[in-house]
Amino acid sequence: MRTLLLPGMDGTGELFASCVRFLAADLQPQIVAYSRERPLGYEELLQEVPIPAAPFAILAESFSGPLGIRIAARHPDRVRAVVLVSTFVRCPAPFLARLATLLAPLMLRRPPPASVLRWALMGNDAIPSEIAEVQAVLRSVPAKTLARRLRAIVEIDVSKEFAAIEAPVLYVAGTRDRLVGPTVAEQLRGLRSDLEVCHLDAPHLVLQRRPAEAAAAISRYLLANSRFPRNRSPLK
């Protein structure tokens, strides 16, 4: 079964490398990369994602959560399972996000310093090589593109689509995530009681800081649900 991997806000897919090494081979991971030069929002990106003709699963990280949710809602006949990692159905911190949007042209001209990355994304125990990797990836994406994605987060709300997904859903959360807090998992459970949640001791970048543990949990879940029956909803 093919598994579409939808990346975080950088959109390159390069930060999936450490996690993909541990994913079960039967999942046939296909990393999706978004345009670096074109500043696209969710609706435009939705048209860019290659949708397999055969049944497939979705792994959507952070920024791409709403995109993965929309794809699953639009293709109930093919989507077997969905894994959401450190993500949301609507902006988890609207005030801070709007403030960041206003400051984005200045903030995104250069990669954030190590102290900011450790606080917001990677945790205080991140080593210099891990910090350098994330900085290099962010440096490769124009500031205008990152700013557009940040604005898209402020505007999005896919609560209805999330509740309507027929396929089973796993939510992977970092217990030390400062960007998407613990209340988000509770919010999602309120929208669908069948949601499964996996908590890992990690900051926001769960897949990068805990690749083996995250990949093991994701592989087990997707393989177990690869034959999810399409003639009924898991909510019934």
Structural domain boundaries in the chain: 2-224
Q: For residue 204, give both structure tokens.
A: 């926001």
185, 116, 182, 102: which is closest to 147 by C-alpha? 102
Residue 15 and residue 139: Cα distance in Å, rounded?
13
Indicate the average pLDDT of the chain: 90
List, in sequence order, every residue forming a beta bridge with 10; answer none if it has no partner: none
pTM for the model stands at 0.91
The residue type at 18:
S
pLDDT, position 11: 97
HSE of 211, CA atoms in CB hemisphere, 13 A:
12
Architecture of domain 2-224: 3-Layer(aba) Sandwich (3.40)
Q: Provide the pLDDT confidence category of residue 236 given band limits of 50, 70 and 90.
A: very low
Per-residue model confidence (pLDDT) at position 235: 39
- Convert the pLDDT of each residue in 73-124 to its tens digit: 999 999 999 999 999 999 887 655 555 555 555 555 677 889 989 999 999 9
* pLDDT at res. 100: 58
Alpha helices in the chain (DSSP H): 17-20, 42-48, 65-74, 94-107, 114-117, 128-139, 143-155, 159-164, 183-191, 206-209, 211-224
Helix, coil or strand: residue 87: coil
Confidence of residue 66 (pLDDT cuts 50, 70, 90): very high
